[in-house]
Amino acid sequence: MTLLKISKMGHPVLRRVAEPVPDPTVPEIRELVESMVETMTEVGGTGIAAPQVFESKRIFTFFVSGERAKAEAERLGISQEAEAGVPLTVLVNPEIEFLGNEIDEGWEGCLSMPGLMGKVPRHRSIRYRGLGLDGKLIEREASGFHARVVQHEYDHLDGVLYTERMTDIKSLIFSSEVGYQKPDE
């Protein structure tokens, strides 16, 4: 495994639609994912997409800690019992389907835009599917923070950064300043 360099906002790899992966079971893909996970862990991320490490492939990996899932459920006023942590997950050639029309706005950061955060509207509930590294289908429904993370990483595969989803650019701030925001801001 190797720590990988992270592409930053402005690099063309982050603007491209990533290429589908013909076979997720080949050793090269497993090695890429292992290095992505090591890189994500080293920099303290909760998700990373292949374009963020200069690989234009439809792959991302993420996890959701139980405490983060519960905190977001509490903030949104949804059932905390329904919001559990999600173990490390790798999705190859993922697809997303939005469930319902509820949209929540929440703070997001990005490894490709270090030090910045912005308020981003996202669908509250989604269904997603993709292949694991074993070639088997993974299909889940997600809400709250789990849904937000998957949508964020999926956007990277289509060349979209969270700033393009923001409705008010005034909420783009340095992450060190998030604590100064009023709850309704």
Catalytic residue set: 153
59 vs 19, 48, 88, CA distance in Å?
9, 9, 13
Whether the CB-CB separation of 106 and 148 falls below 8 Å is answered with yes
| Amino acid in the structure at residue 73 | A
Closest listed residue to residue 118, CA positions, set 156, 158, 152, 67: 152
**Cα separation of 66 and 173, whole Å?**
26
Instruction: Quote the CA–CA distance of 58 and 87 in Å, as a whole number.
Output: 20
In three-state secondary structure terms, 44 is coil
Please check whether residue 21 is in contact with residue 32, taking contact to mean a CB–CB distance below 8 angstroms: no
- Rounded-to-integer distance, Cα 157 and Cα 169, Å: 23
Nearest to 144 by CA among 57, 54, 68, 45: 68
